[in-house]
Structure 1
Amino acid sequence: MTYSIHPMVVGSKVFDKGMMTYQQNYGEPYTIPIYSWLVKGGDKNILIDTGEMHPIKSDDREKALGGPIVTFEEGLAKHGLTPEDIHIIIHTHLHNDHCENDSKCSNAQIWVHEKELEHIHNPHPLDFRYLEDYIEEVEENGQINTITEAEKEIVPGIRAVHTPAHTEGGMTIVIDTAEGKVAITGFCIIDENLNPPAAVKGMEMDVIPPGTCTSPERAYNIMLQVKEMADIIIPLHEPHYASVERIG
């Protein structure tokens, strides 16, 4: 079974680029897209993350990203779908900007790592991005499935791999496509993290850890492992994909 991946920009953030690139680019304004990734191919409509509920739309942000910002419903409608048509949601992690639309998908089975559930219900004060309000309804409805393994096949050709670089329960999603294996990283990075500029490589660094990470050293090593997992690696917040209709 092979699939195609369709990026939907359902939110954005404007902040210091150093939030993406550990110990690099501080003081440089940067705009990132927040994606929900629609996966087509089998008999199930599958999403990787669900993005923001109320995305800010502005000409400045869309120009910075190079593509349109849409609501969750608008993004799905372009593919002839509604939130109720979604069968499966797989979460890279449960920071709010990755799960705000879960409750709209009343027919979906939702897959998350067990450590994400632990952290969203009992977050450390430093990790304010966990907001349990966004998952309480789907949890009460029995829609959540927890992953405890290091690797879990969700459906044939799609597997979730535990990669705790950005959060303790972060998962990288590996998808079989006609162009080879595609990995959507389970940590918040841009392309520069995976392909550092010459100045960084000159420091003998092959990758740049996420600006927010569980441990810089562990994140660095996990990123090297993820780079070997697939033929195509998609950084979770890389702006390039805002203008891409299809991967795979």
Structure 2
Amino acid sequence: MSTFVIHPIVLGTKEFDKGMMTYQFDYGQPYTIPIYGWYLEGGDKRILVDTGEMRPVISESREQAIGGAISTFTDGLARFGLTPADIDVVVHTHLHNDHCENDYLCENAVFYVHEKELAHAQNPHPLDYRYNEEYIEDVVDAGQMVPLSEDTEIMPGLRMVHTPAHTEGGMSIFIDTPAGSAVITGFCVIQENLFPPKAITAREMDVIPPGTCVNSYAAYDIVRRIRDAADIVIPLHEPSFATGVPIGIK
């Protein structure tokens, strides 16, 4: 079975209210999240999880806020001796714009996404303004997008699991690493969602759902289940990974 080392690449940021991450808590608190692409090193395929922002804001203040460097897509891949054309596989947690804006550059890749994400991107509900079909049109028209209807093992050591917490088609990515099983959450959260402070756990809450979610009760249960399903849990927007330190090395 293949194992992978996970390399976080910061491909953008968002500055907003922390309550956008932590449902019912910390509204009014300014917060900056990194937007990642994750390069999976190992096996015979060059694999990415998500492709980030097309034109990231790169500033000293934002890099200080997240504790790491922000890269364009091309520059981020160049750190590993890669170009977008070298990518063989892209697996998508979901299709909100900040997770797929560079898809069009990966001209040789096969893309995997839940079919409900594709449907929402092509016909979004007015409340979910984060979808923009233009970012995936090129790969859809080229026949590169593979819609999934269920949990799927993409290849040995890499499995996508349907976790509709933040979006209806959200997929969490389970990855075998030398240090054990890892999961990149398919929903937009930070470490605090998975391991809340005492002020939250004192209310008998084990986790905090994403700040925007499909169904808050179901999201709570999904977050708790995924937190306990792997040896290494990687919240999709956790700032501490912005240092770029590889994940999963034994």
TM-score, normalised with respect to structure 1: 0.99
Q: Once the 2 structures are TM-superposed, how far is the Cα of residue 23 of structure 1 from its aligned partner?
A: 0.4
Provide the residue aligned with 2:22 in structure 1. 21
Aligned-residue identity in percent: 62
Provide the residue aligned with 1:241 in structure 2. 241
Provide the residue aligned with 2:83 in structure 1. 82
SS at match of 2:136: helix
Question: How far apart are the structure 2 equivalents of 1:139 and 1:115?
Answer: 14
Provide the residue aligned with 2:116 in structure 1. 115
> 1:112-164: per-residue Cα shift (whole Å, max 9, x none)?
00000110111110000000000011000000001111x10001100000000
- Output aligned runs, 1:201-240, within 5 Å: 201-240=201-240
- Output aligned runs, 1:43-192, within 5 Å: 43-149=44-150, 151-192=151-192
Question: How far apart are the structure 2 equivalents of 1:167 and 1:17?
Answer: 19
Question: How far apart are the structure 2 equivalents of 1:186 and 1:196?
Answer: 19
Aligned partner letter, 2:99: H
Aligned partner letter, 1:157: G
SS at match of 2:175: strand
Q: Once the 2 structures are TM-superposed, how far is the Cα of residue 224 of structure 1 from its aligned partner?
A: 1.2
SS at match of 1:120: helix
Aligned partner letter, 1:138: V
Question: How far apart are the structure 2 equivalents of 1:245 and 1:238?
Answer: 13
Question: How far apart are the structure 1 equivalents of 2:68 and 2:183?
Answer: 22
Q: Once the 2 structures are TM-superposed, how far is the Cα of residue 57 of structure 1 from its aligned partner?
A: 0.5
Aligned partner letter, 2:203: M
Q: Which runs of 4+ in 1 moved over 6 A?
A: none
SS at match of 2:189: coil
Residues 85 and 108, structure 2, Cα contact 8 Å, conserved in 1: yes
C-alpha RMSD of the superposition: 0.5
Aligned partner letter, 2:171: M
Q: Once the 2 structures are TM-superposed, how far is the Cα of residue 229 of structure 1 from its aligned partner?
A: 1.5
Q: Once the 2 structures are TM-superposed, how far is the Cα of residue 244 of structure 1 from its aligned partner?
A: 3.0
Question: How far apart are the structure 1 equivalents of 2:21 and 2:171?
Answer: 18
Matched, 1:36 2:20: no
Q: Once the 2 structures are TM-superposed, how far is the Cα of residue 107 of structure 1 from its aligned partner?
A: 0.1
SS at match of 1:192: helix
Question: How far apart are the structure 2 equivalents of 1:153 and 1:164?
Answer: 18
Question: How far apart are the structure 1 equivalents of 2:96 and 2:196?
Answer: 26
Question: How far apart are the structure 2 equivalents of 1:224 and 1:192?
Answer: 12
Structure 1 residue runs of 5 or longer lacking an equivalent are none
Aligned partner letter, 1:55: P
